[in-house]
Amino acid sequence: MLNIKADFPVLNRLFGGDAGEPGMALHYLDSAATTQKPLSVIETMDRFYRESYGTVRRGVYRLSEKATAEYENTRKKVAKLLNAASEKEIVYTSGTTQSINLVAYSYGRKFLKPGDEILLSTIEHHANIVPWQLITEMTGAVIKVIPVDDTGTLILSEYAKLLTERTRIVAVNHVSNALGTINPVKEMIRMARQANHFNPQDPTRRGAVVLIDGAQSVSHMKVDVRDLDADFYAFSGHKMFGPTGIGILYGKSAILESMPPYQGGGDMIERVTFARTTYQKPPHRFEAGTPAIVEVVGLGAALDYLAHLGLDRIAAHENALLQYGTRLLSEIPELRLIGTAPHKASILSFTLEGVHPHDIGTLLDEEGIAIRAGHHCAQPTMDRFGVPATARASLGPYNDTADLDALAAGLRKIIEVFR
């Protein structure tokens, strides 16, 4: 098991201690919303502001050149993390949400025609639903939804039926943030390829591209975009120990090159005149304006931290905790686990008989336990399971069995109060 709480300053301070009372340690169980930051990330960003800060890709002076080198170096680290063919396939965005919007507004607006189909799953985050809805309004494309069974597992036989010659885009998450289901994305991409209906009338319209929302996967398991054969892969820095405000869109080179800019502005152009403007090649074509320089550098430090821990060790640690936590929670008769897929990441979503999830959240907070309560930006998932909201404990590599023991004890106490 990993033992890394000491690396995270916020996990080592005591909360709520006033008037001489000792404070409480934090049991942080909301990593699916955002992860805490290790000291190395905090210090790297602080040092960069103090010593190396300057604009990137514009300056002729050494400070800017050095900042640019650090900024571009993160791109190489991300390419390595994903086993991308080149760092030119790595686009900096502000987060998963922007990455998906970029694909919808650029690829979707260019290639979708009326009647074309976009396949999503029932258990998507709103960030992988709403951008597509906006694009269907502009293009006349339609959305089809892959159903899930009662454990929260996608029904692949239904997916197979939904793949038709009209399917242009398949967009699914790798891991559901609301349930923890790990989706068989490699298999799903393979199925999309097999169903690649080729239209000789229009050779540019060959089959579907597949976007994977990796917001819940990249810091929990090894991801190899070439092995998956994903066309796009999107994620956020802040869910992988990095800062907010920086995210990644991976896209296959040939596809990125076929796409028009998403936003216009500085640094994404080659030459601007009022008559005609030409654009940079990817990835810079998609990076208009002064970017989140320090956040990119912070993400680089987060990637170093991930590499230092090792994704295999993280996955093993979190899986052991998931088994432990599932067993503890299953022993509470009033508790209903929502999301019981056989293939699951370390997310425990549940309801307690007779107690609203928000009350669970606020009462646990009094014990120093931070969980999420609500719909988790996945209202269609809640609808599918017939609940308005769940309480959710989601784990990171810094969690330990004591955090889960505290959770179970806190829940039993709540049940006593409500009895």
Ligand X SMILES: *Cc1c(COP(=O)(O)O)cnc(C)c1O
Least Cβ distance, residue 300 to ligand X (angstroms): 18
User: Which residue do the tokens 């029904």 mark?
Assistant: 155
Least Cβ distance, residue 216 to ligand X (angstroms): 5
Q: Counting contacts by CB under 6 A, is residue 381 touching ligand X?
A: no
224-95-259 Cα angle (round to 5): 75
213 vs 231 by CB, closer to ligand X: 213
What's the N-to-C CA distance of the chain in angstroms?
Answer: 37
Q: Counting contacts by CB under 6 A, is residue 11 touching ligand X?
A: no
* Residues 229-248 within binding reach of ligand X (CB under 6 A): 236
Please state the length of the chain: 419
Instruction: Given the residues 377, 387, 412, 413, select the one marked as catalytic.
Output: 377
> CA-to-CA distance for 399 and 332, rounded, in angstroms?
21
Q: Counting contacts by CB under 6 A, is residue 95 touching ligand X?
A: yes
* Kind of pairing between the strands at 277-279 and 269-272: antiparallel
Residue selected from 27, 37, 57, 125 as contacting ligand X according to rule CB under 6 A: 125
Residue selected from 116, 213, 231, 287 as contacting ligand X according to rule CB under 6 A: 213
Other C-beta atoms closer than 10 Å to the C-beta of 179 total: 29
Q: Counting contacts by CB under 6 A, is residue 339 touching ligand X?
A: no
296 CB burial (10 A radius; 0-12, 13-18, 19+): buried
Which residues are within 8 A (CB) of 233 and not within 5 positions of it... i.e. 6 or more apart? 82, 211, 212, 214, 223, 225, 248, 249, 250
Site string for ligand X, 157-196 (x = CB under 6 A): ----------------x---x-------------------
Region binding ligand X by CB under 6 A among candidate stretches 35-43, 160-168, 185-193, 208-216: 208-216
Region binding ligand X by CB under 6 A among candidate stretches 40-48, 93-101, 164-172, 310-318: 93-101
Active site residue 377: yes
Q: Site size for ligand X, by CB under 6 A?
A: 12
Q: Are 183 and 119 in contact (CB under 8 A)?
A: no
Q: Counting contacts by CB under 6 A, is residue 96 touching ligand X?
A: yes
Least Cβ distance, residue 157 to ligand X (angstroms): 24
295 CB burial (10 A radius; 0-12, 13-18, 19+): buried
What positions carry a catalytic annotation? 377
Binding site for ligand X (CB under 6 A): 95-97, 125, 127-128, 173, 177, 213, 215-216, 236
